[in-house]
Amino acid sequence: MAEIFLDRVTKRFGRVEALRELTLRVREGELLVLLGPSGCGKSTALRIVAGLEAPTSGGVWIGGRRVDGVEPGDRDLAFVFQTYALYPHKTVAENLAFPLRVRKVSREEEEARVREVAALLGIGELLGRRPRELSGGQRQRVALGRAIVRRPRAFLMDEPLSNLDARLRVEMRSEIRRLQQRLGTTTVYVTHDQVEAMTLGDRVAVLRQGRLQQVGTPRQVYELPANRFVAGFVGSPPMNLLRIHVERTGDGAVLHVGDQALPWPAGCGVGPPPPGPLELGFRPHSARLGSGPGLGPLRARVEEREYLGGAVLLHLDAGGQRITVERPPEAREQPGEGVLLYLSPRELVGFDVATGERVWPAG
Amino acid sequence: MRPAGADPHPAEALRRAEERLAWALLALPLVSVVGVVAFPLVYNLWTSLHEVRLGTLGGPAPFAGLANYVRAVTEPELWRAVAVTVAYALAGVALSVGLGLAAALAVNRPFRGRGVFRALFLFPYVAPAVSVAFVWRWLLDPVYGAVNWALQRAGAVEGPVAWLSTEPLAFATVVAFEGWRYFPFAMLFVLARLQAVPPELYEAARVDGAGPWQRFRHVTWPELRGMLALVFAVRFLWTVNKFDDVFLLTGGAAGTRIVPLWIYDTAFRLHDFGTAAAGSALLLALLLGAGIPLCRRWLP
Ligand SMILES: Nc1ncnc2c1ncn2[C@@H]1O[C@H](COP(=O)(O)OP(=O)(O)OP(=O)(O)O)[C@@H](O)[C@H]1O
Ligand SMILES: [Mg+2]
């Protein structure tokens, strides 16, 4: 168990800048998810922590000690690969025992630990098989077991579930969560799947083009995205973004959306956004249709209706701007109909039109 | 399109057309196989069953039954040649596979000038046998050879060494030549196999704490084992058959007379074509006996 600290880590591959000044603290015992689109540098960051790649500049600390130049094997970390990377010529038992064998752990202890881990993961029956005789889910369990058996200071996992089918992925997701909480081992988990990130992480770090966008609990990242990118990347369907203009009027404010003027509801407990142009963000499920309370009414027309089983998505045109709202499955609005929207002031965020950074609410 | 019903069996006609095409395509390989393999084989078998000497060469020869075979197998020189052949093939192939493995490992990782090394390493294999054999003979020559000169200069030997004409040096030299000349073959195969090893396996091993030797033992070696065995088997069969290398280096002198050279000497020095042909047939039987199980093992 150890804290992991990346200090202004930059990594260049020739002309490609995979990471830029990444500063990140993974707290002792937490599960931190590195989330971002393909090619944003997640794997690179993880590989730098593991020592499989050296940073171009910046430093890495593990358990308070700087590890630059320390061999991966001497960092006392375990890495779980997307492709599992099981030794194909070794049996499951030999795969599990390998990190112990290399470290010259006594045979009795090796055997005890392999048995313990096999029981923990429910792979006791498979110990005599070779990797190619296992299903994807079983291989994944063995790969996890090989990481756990050594009792390392931290787990590093690079998209460990992305080769599994959807059902198994959900199953293994909760299993990883359960294991991590039980063992209390510091874990960095890389994924491009925001649902995985939200369900798994104590905290989520969002990366884009090698730059850290935001670190926070899943809730913070979801409710108060640091910028337009995070707002769009986290949550499905993504957060709606409306171009508005805010005008202060005496002690209140009016929000102009196209040719519509929405008065800021007095006494809603939230102050109005700052005056001037703004990109107003709200989640598809936070809009009410028909009647208040809230910010409204915003007139819109239903363009398209998508039935999802548990919900219905309505794609709307609000004065030329596309937005999406989520409705219960019994909702009856049909394409072509006009609707009135009311937005909950507490669930609104405002982004700077030019930079895309969140400017409201602060904090 | 022909009107329907014009040909009662269009599928049959198509099948026959395809059959004709197949024969046409097979004609050339068939002719060359018959001319280059089957005819010499049959002629050799015929020769091995007749009393073919210089006088009867090319004409009718008296039927000899198995006399040639009896003569061949009771000839101690042939058995000596068999022993030399097996030792030469085993040692030479082991050396070439070992060198090939080392070379492949050396040029597998990227470094400056790797391309030059890879090309250089191919040279012994692609150069003509006659030229490289004569270069070796010249280098090893007791009187004019650069090797003897250098060794004497360095004080490593007292006087010139006859590398190719004293026992057991000559045998060691032809083995070294085989190792040197054919290591690129093993290198190419091993290199291709190495490139196919998933890099994550090495990374997993590094994170697990394995050093370079353990990574070789637990990742590289198990991945290469099958390929090395295959290369070894194929090279062994080819080396048992090989004639030119040893012929050009020693001509079979000083304990290097391998079976193909014994056959050559029996046929073209003693002019006993019948016995030589019987020896050839025995060698063929030996190779088939070793080769068929090997092919069964590796070819699906
Ligand atoms: N060994 C390398 N050589 C050159 N460029 C590299 C190398 N490794 C990564 N890159 C580049 O660095 C950038 C970040 O790569 P990285 O593998 O970290 O992305 P990622 O976020 O893990 O993406 P994915 O979700 O697709 O795995 C990419 O542009 C990639 O092309
Ligand atoms: Mg990746």
Q: Which residues of chain B have pLDDT under 70?
A: 1-8, 55-57, 298-300
Q: How much is the pLDDT for B7? A: 59
Residue type, A324: T
What whole-number distance in Å separates Cα of residue B36 and Cα of residue A190? 63
Render pLDDT for A301-341 as a digit per residue (tens, 0 to 9).
Answer: 999 999 999 999 999 999 899 999 999 999 899 999 999 99
Residue whose C-alpha is closest to residue B186's, from B228, B137, B138, B133: B228
| Averaged pLDDT for residues A29-37 | 96
What whole-number distance in Å separates Cα of residue B246 and Cα of residue B173? 10
Flag whether residue A113 sits within 8 Å of chain B, measured between CB atoms: no
CB atoms within 10 A of CB A122: 12
Which of A16, A53, A191, A194 gets mutated to test ligand 1 (max ligand atoms within 8 A of its CB)?
A16
Residue whose C-alpha is closest to residue A144's, from A66, B273, A152, A63: A152
What is chain A's alpha carbon radius of gyration, rounded to the nearest angstrom? 25
Nearest to B207 among A79, A83, A88 (CB): A79
A-chain CB neighbours of B208 within 8 Å are 73, 98-99, 102, 146, 150
Buried (b) or exposed (e) across A204-239, using 16+ Cβ within 10 A? Answer: bbbbbebbbbbbbebeebbbbbbbbbbbbbbbebbb
Partner residues linked to A325 by β-bridges: A314
Render pLDDT for B87-96 as a digit per residue (tens, 0 to 9).
Answer: 898 899 999 9
For ligand 2, the distance from its centroid to the CA atom of residue A127, given in whole angstroms, is 29
Return the beta strands (E) in chain B as ranges.
Answer: none
Nearest to B207 among A78, A87, A90 (CB): A78
Chain B residue whose CA is closest to A86:
B201
Contact B201 A72 (CB under 8 A): no
Complex-level ipTM: 0.88
CATH superfamily of B74-298: MetI-like (1.10.3720.10)
Residue spans of alpha helices (H) in A122-217: 136-148, 166-183, 194-200
Peptide bond into A293 cis (omega under 30): yes
Name the more confident of B143 and A79: A79
CB atoms within 10 A of CB B257: 22
CB B181 within 8 A of CB B245: yes
Top CATH class, A4-225: alpha beta
Q: How much is the pLDDT for A242? A: 95
Q: How much is the pLDDT for A130? A: 94
Buried (b) or exposed (e) across A324-363, using 16+ Cβ within 10 A? Answer: bbbbeeebebeeeeebebbbbbebbbbbbeeebebbbeee
DSSP secondary structure, A17-59, as one string? EEEEEEEEEEPTT-EEEEE-STTSSHHHHHHHHHTSS--SEEE
Q: How does residue A96 score in pLDDT terms, banded at 50, 70 and 90?
A: very high
Q: How much is the pLDDT for A291? A: 83
Q: Can you tell me which atom of ligand 1 is nearest the CA of A192?
A: 25
What backbone torsions phi and psi does residue B261 show, to the nearest 5 degrees? -75, -35
Report the percent of chain A where pLDDT is more than 70.
Answer: 100
Q: How much is the pLDDT for B78? A: 81
Render pLDDT for A231-278 as a digit per residue (tens, 0 to 9).
Answer: 999 998 999 999 999 999 888 899 999 999 999 998 888 889 999 999
CB atoms within 10 A of CB A285: 14
B-chain CB neighbours of A88 within 8 Å are 201, 222-223
What whole-number distance in Å separates Cα of residue B102 and Cα of residue B224? 12
CATH number of A233-360: 2.40.50.140
Chain B residue whose CA is closest to A84:
B200
How long a stretch of residues is chain A? 363
Q: How much is the pLDDT for A317? A: 95
What whole-number distance in Å separates Cα of residue B70 and Cα of residue B290? 22
What whole-number distance in Å separates Cα of residue A176 and Cα of residue A346? 34
Buried (b) or exposed (e) across A36-68, using 16+ Cβ within 10 A? Answer: beeebbbbbbbbbbbbbbebeebebbbbeeebe
Q: How much is the pLDDT for B299? A: 62
Contact B198 A79 (CB under 8 A): no
CB atoms within 10 A of CB B184: 23
Residue B58, Cβ density class (10 Å: 0-12 exposed, 13-18 middle, ≥19 buried): exposed
Least confident of A57-61, A279-283, B85-89, B152-156: B152-156
Render pLDDT for A335-354 as a digit per residue (tens, 0 to 9).
Answer: 999 999 999 999 999 999 99
| Averaged pLDDT for residues A210-218 | 96
Token reading at A286: 């936070």
Residue type, B64: A
What whole-number distance in Å separates Cα of residue B61 and Cα of residue B275? 13
- Return mean pLDDT, chain A: 93
Nearest to B209 among A73, A81, A89 (CB): A73
Q: How much is the pLDDT for B300? A: 55
What whole-number distance in Å separates Cα of residue A78 and Cα of residue A68? 17
Tell me the nearest-neighbour CA distance from B91 into chain A, angstroms: 29
Name the more confident of B13 and A145: A145
Which residues of B, range 183-212, sit inside 8 Å of A by Cβ? 198, 200-201, 203-211
Render pLDDT for A80-93 as a digit per residue (tens, 0 to 9).
Answer: 999 999 999 999 99
Residue whose C-alpha is closest to residue A155's, from A59, A76, A48, A40: A76
Q: How does residue A53 score in pLDDT terms, banded at 50, 70 and 90?
A: very high
DSSP H/E element including B248: helix B244-249
Q: How much is the pLDDT for A114? A: 94
**What are the extents of the domains in chain A?**
4-225, 233-360
